[in-house]
Amino acid sequence: MQNEIKNRIPIYIDLAPNRDKLYSGIGLKSNDEIFIFVCFNDETKEFEGYAIVRNYEIDKYREWDEEELGEIENDNSDDFINELPLEKMNNIFECLSELKSDELIAIYTESDDKSYYVGKIENLTKNKVELKLIDENAKWIENEIINIKEITYIGFRSNYERELAKKTFYNTIYSK
């Protein structure tokens, strides 16, 4: 996988049999703990946002073929390549530390890969992260404390999180 990261070759990563998930994008970093990548959105046919997956979750991966490369309508990958402090992101805790100032992140856990939490980091310790959760209507709801060992996926800066953050901002201004 290091060759694909070095040469910015888009790949698919398959999490089966652990999870029924298939992701695609451009790898930025891989080590014994995590894999960080720029996500490809199959609907918009362009790159958007980032994801972090625990490396043990990845069953296999493959490079995109020529036909799949041709599906990229807007190769905006350069907008994402050098934006993260990758040297400071070596495990889930360090990644969360770097994301504390992000407006919203999405987290999947080992216990439930069908649903996920979306929120803002309120508190972070070596073992737990506390998220102030937001619902799909951009309303702040309760806090959730998540054991860092149980986190399998972190998504951030995607169109979904950015749109929710905008709605939250407008809800805050116009609810006064």
**pLDDT tens sequence for the chain (176 residues):** 889 999 999 999 988 776 778 899 999 999 999 999 999 999 999 999 999 999 998 989 999 999 989 989 989 999 999 999 999 999 999 999 999 999 899 999 988 777 899 999 999 999 999 999 999 888 999 999 999 999 999 999 998 888 888 887 655 544 44
For 23, other C-beta atoms within 10 Å of its C-beta total 19
Q: Total structural domains in the chain?
A: 2
Query: Two tokens at 87?
Result: 């040297």
CA 176 to chain centre: 32
**Which structural domain range is residue 135 located in?**
91-176
Which of these three, 54, 84, 114, is where a domain ends?
A: 84
